[in-house]
Each structure stands twice: as C-alpha cells, then as structure tokens.
Amino acid sequence: MKELQADFTQYILEFKKPSGTSRGVLQKKKSYFIKIWEADNPENYRIGECGLLKGLSIDAVPEYSATLQEVCDNINEYKNNFKSKLEQFPSIVFGLEMALQDFQNEESLHILFPSPFTQGEESIQINGLIWMGTVDFMKEQIKQKLEQNFQCIKLKIGAINFEEELNILKKIREEYSPDVLELRVDANGAFSPEDALEKLKRLSELNLHSIEQPIRQKQWEAMAKLCEQTPLPIALDEELIGVLGKENKQNLLETIKPQYIILKPSLVGGFDASKEWIDLAEMQEIGSWLTSALESNIGLNAIAQWTYQFINEPGKENRKMPQGLGTGKLYTNNFDSPMYLKGENLFFDPQASWDYNLF
C-alpha cells in the first residue's frame, strides 16, 4: 500500500426519539470518523467509523481523542499492526479495519466486501427492534413492525415492571404463534442472579427464541449456572466486550457454555476479532449472529456487507437467521446511503449515492 495520511473528526448523532434501555435513555450518540488517503492522491480516500457506547465500550476513556490523533499522525506505522497495538481500543481497530479494507476495492468507495448484496441482488433479513418505554409506546412499535411484516422482533426488557413486559409478550403470542413470529428479548443485564432463573422459566412458556444477557456481565459462575439450568436459550452480548485474546475468549465460552453469542464488531474489535469469537463458538456448537451498535450508516454499511458474507459462508446453514442490524432511521442527522429497508429485509442499491460532509 502507498504512503498514507490520516485525520479524524467527531460527530454527534441525534436520536429522533429518546431510546430506552435498562442502562438508561439514549438521546445522543458520539462517533468518530477517521479519513485515510494516499499522500500523493488526496482524492483517493476511505472512511472508517469509530463508534463509542457509553457504559459499554471499554475504550470510552479520556485519552481516546489523543490516541486517535497519535494513530493519524503515524498512520504508516500503524497500518500493518494496528490490531495488536490498539487491542485496548476496539472501536479504533474497527474504524481502521473498515477504512483499510475499503482500499482493497479501488473502484468504489464504501464497497468493502463485494457480493450479491452490494450488487443489489440479495438482501439480509433483520429482526425488528422494540425499544423500552411506556407500555403504550412499546405496543405502538410492535404494531408498526408487524404491519411491516417482520417475522422476528426483539424486545428490550428490564426497564418497566416485569409483569407488564410479560403481559405484552403474552398478548403478542396469543395472536402470533412461533411458526408465524419469532420473539427475542434482550434484558441488557437487568435481572439479578437470584431471580433470573424464575423469570426465564416464565418467559420460556411463551416460546421465545432466546434472551440476551439476562444478568450483568462478569458474573461467570452465576451465568454458567444459568446457562446450564435455563429452559430458554441464552445469548451472551455485553459479556464478550473487553475479553481480549484467543485464550481468554475460549476460557469464557468453555466456562459459561451459552447457547448463543452475539457479536457487535465495533465493540469487540472489528471483523477479525468477531470471526475469532465465531470460530471458537462453533467448535463448541454455540450459535451466533451479528448486530450493529447504533453506528451511523457509514459503520452500518460495513457491518452489513460483512454480515452478508458471514451468513452465506458455504457449509454454515445454521447461520441463516435474522440478524440484528439497525436501519439508519434512528437519527435526525444520519447520512444518506444506498441501504434501504423493504419489509424485514435490508437492501443495498448500487446505483444510489452517499451524502455526507464530514471533513
């Protein structure tokens, strides 16, 4: 690769509506964008998104901007070994991996992994996400997703009264059987180890697909016991964040033995780090799927393209399930992109153009 130069900028994404999780309500989301270009050809540039989630990202630290500046000032020193040098900064690894991968395809900006998806021929089935809020707000979201013919919806639970959440799920299940509608729930660690199993038993009566992170991360013994006894498949999400190195990843999976793991590339260190998790999990017959982490359409585009390849890897039919990709419609100031949603399927229009002015 030629001599490179780099710069970065910060961008605040504004939510259209406050979005609730068990960790609080989100109104803004901070992202950093890194731009890399050829020193002798500034018009040939690529962009990567370094997205942070407060309370989740291990690299949301005071020296984050200084680290990004160091990387940009010395991009030619970092470009070949950034994954090892920046292990403690998974979102920066993801942004660099995204931008440098984009250079592999010289003809088109933002085409990282050419495929039938980027050619507009095939799509990615996604789940419909139901944010926490009042009962009426959650019911309205569910109604909209069902009208859009989603076959899989995921509800974030744990913020309002459990009995009310259970009642919402019961009413959905009374109207839609498991054959018609797959239901997933995400507790974001809201349950206590003491009451989690009882809640999982009650949820399992509704024929749910799975529950994400029923108790807070870093309680390996309690989570392992829960995964062993649960009547409802458990998917680890936050539990994977900050677990670095192949040996530590393998130790976590062998200790907890979850039914599924969920990968957010910008939180676990990019595509190669996600693949390492997936390969280790599949050796133990643990399923997996991918989700975005509230990135802008720039980051979502990269994750969607990699997800298409993940789903369609030969001999991996078990991966063909709805993925947890966003749709870019959460924000008032997102960027126009070639991606669009038709029903429950995410498409890419190769004739459409991008619209952003970051640098």
Please enumerate in sequence order all residues whose Cβ is within 8 A of that of 353, keeping only pairs 6 or more positions apart, or say none. Answer: 336, 338
Judge whether residue 206 has pLDDT over 90. Answer: yes
- Chain mean pLDDT for the chain: 93
Active site (annotated) includes residue 264: yes
Active site (annotated) includes residue 199: no
- Tell me the per-residue pLDDT of 223-261, one tens digit each, with 9 for 90 and over: 999 999 999 999 999 999 999 999 999 999 999 999 999
| pLDDT confidence bin for 54, thresholds 50/70/90 | confident
pLDDT of residue 21: 57
pLDDT of residue 23: 59
- Tell me the per-residue pLDDT of 191-201, one tens digit each, with 9 for 90 and over: 999 999 999 99
- Tell me the per-residue pLDDT of 292-304, one tens digit each, with 9 for 90 and over: 999 999 999 999 9
Mean pLDDT of the region 322-351: 93
pLDDT of residue 161: 87
| pLDDT confidence bin for 349, thresholds 50/70/90 | very high
pTM of the model: 0.94
Enumerate domains of the chain plus CATH numbers: 4-102 (3.30.390.10), 124-348 (3.20.20.120)
Burial 245-282 (b: 16+ CB within 10 A, else e): eeeebbebbeebebbbbbbbbbbbbbbebbebbbebbe
- Which of 35, 156, 199, 249 does the annotation list as catalytic? 156
Judge whether residue 27 has pLDDT over 90. Answer: no
| pLDDT confidence bin for 135, thresholds 50/70/90 | confident
Neighbouring CB atoms inside 10 A of 140's CB total: 13
Residue 63, exposed/middle/buried by CB under 10 A (0-12, 13-18, 19+)?
exposed
Task: Give the CA dihedral 102, 107, 111, 117, nearest 10 degrees.
Answer: -150
- Which of 79, 145, 199, 264 does the annotation list as catalytic? 264
Judge whether residue 24 has pLDDT over 70. Answer: no
